[in-house]
Chain A
Amino acid sequence: MRSLLILVLSLIVDLIVSLVIILACIKFQSFKQFYKTIATMMNSIPSMALLPLIIMWFGIGDSAIVALVTHSVVWTFTIYILDGINSLPKIYQEFADNINLDLKSRIKDIYIPALLPNITAGLKVVWGRAWRSLIGAEVAFGAIGAAGGLGYYININRYNGDMPKVFAGIIIIATIGLLVDLAIFSNIEKKMRKWGTLHE
């Protein structure tokens, strides 16, 4: 539960960091080019490959989880959103120009709803990646959080030969994934289906 809480908090912070990066990319085209190259490179490195380095730098604790989740979230999410901005229909922007719409209304009423398919797809991917990385790290390296976690629980029960508990851990992981999908993503996707903006 503690791992999940830290994961969610890390996700929120990482999304704010991503937003800052996206705004910088919109403002400075040269930064955007540079950032996209770096993001593409970093995005291809699996979290597990970085884990030894993360443990060396941050030790075994909450900060290691934050670093791991940050790596899983920021690169992927920003790439999704920047690609979405590139493909934002020009017709909406011209409509906003034509009626002299202020920046706040543009962002709130035009850009965010228009980018919602990318935002949702990006969030789905980064949530999955972050969740898998965290559990994977716990399985491979034991408790990287101070109080263990689901991966650690599965691993310790594997040592003890307690198969039902191993299965219980796996089922809990899958159930949490399903609940997050039903509680958050399904509702947004239902709305987008109604609008006809979800490309399936």
Chain B
Amino acid sequence: MNKTVFEAVSIYKSFDKRQILKNISFSLHESEVMAIVGKSGCGKTTLLRILANLEIPDSGEVLFNKQTQKNPTPDIIFIQQDYNQLLPWKNVINNVAYPAIATRKHSKTVATKHAKELLEKMDLAEFASFFPRELSGGMKQRVAIARALIMEPKILLLDEPFGAVDRESREKAYDIIKKLCREYGTAVLLITHNLQEAKTVAKRIIHFEEKGVRIITNKELTELIGDDT
């Protein structure tokens, strides 16, 4: 088992006296892909936002490399569900290179070279000069993931990035993401509504149930939903 890079410890969150998250604890290991499944409105996105430090929990803490993490960091990058998260005034290659240039992680030349490589791996090389409005939803999300990976994050939080994308493209995109994350040593925590997808992509799953949250294996999920692939 790889080392633990990320931990959520006893996270609680409520909105308007409605308890959304109750005592959620789990750990994530280096290069691991973990899925979060559950009904709409059960708090999956809120959990991810708390883990990205974009939302403050009522109590509990997020540990990154055993240290309490209280502010957003480029080591933990959150990809939102919204297809319009790219900067519309930058073309695809500049969108991908931008975080590395702006945060002075790489020079412009190096960042652009990395961005090109990432786009090739994402099967998007031919769209480098396109603007986001010229891309499909799934392509935009793949660009957003490339933009995240250029920062070489330790954790990638994906909020149902390919919700409205067809199954074949989705599977292809997840294969690429898994391969890249292995290459970069990045752990992935992803929300999906698709249980079949969850058990294919991840070995461990955070399952939001009526009584609370359970961490189950993909085999246990298969037992719960049956194997109708």
Cα(A99)–Cα(B104), bound, Å: 11
The number of chain B residues touching the other chain, given as a range, is 20 to 34
Nearest-CB residue, chain A, relative to B98: A109
Q: Are B88 and A196 in contact (CB under 8 A)?
A: yes
Contact with A along B68-90 (1 / 0, CB 8 A): 00001110111010101101110
> Looking across the interface, which residue of chain B has its beta carbon closest to that of A91?
B85
- CB pair A100 B85 closer than 8 Å: no
Report A10-64 residues with CB < 8 Å from chain B CB: none
In the complex, residue of chain A having the shortest beta-carbon distance to the beta carbon of B150: A99
**Pairwise interchain contact A197-B88, C-beta atoms closer than 8 A:** yes
Alpha-carbon separation in the docked complex, A87 to B102 (Å): 24
Tell me, in angstroms, the Cα distance from A98 to B157 when the chains sit together.
11
Which of B78, B85, B89 is A195 in contact with, Cβ under 8 Å?
Answer: B89
User: Quick one: which of B37-88 are within 8 Å of A by CB?
Assistant: 52, 54, 72-74, 76-78, 80, 82, 84-85, 87-88
Identity of the chain B residue whose Cβ is nearest the Cβ of A97 in the assembled complex: B72
Q: Write out the residue numbers on chain A whose beta carbons fall within 8 Å of the beta carbon of B82.
A: 91
Is B219 positioned at the interface, with any CB of A under 8 Å from its CB?
no
Against A, the Cβ 8 Å flags (1 = close, 0 = not) of B201-212 are 000000000000
Q: Assess whether B89 is in contact with A113, with CB atoms less than 8 Å apart.
A: yes
Known A113-B89, A196-B88, A197-B88; contact A94-B102, beta-carbon cutoff 8 A? no
**Smallest CB separation, B20 vs chain A (Å):** 19
Decide if B74 touches A100 in the complex (CB within 8 Å). Answer: yes
In the complex, whether A105 has a CB less than 8 A from a CB of chain B is yes
Contact present for A99 and B151 (CB under 8 Å) = yes
12 A-B interface contacts by CB (under 8 A): A91-B85, A94-B72, A94-B80, A97-B72, A98-B54, A99-B74, A99-B99, A100-B73, A100-B103, A113-B87, A197-B88, A197-B89
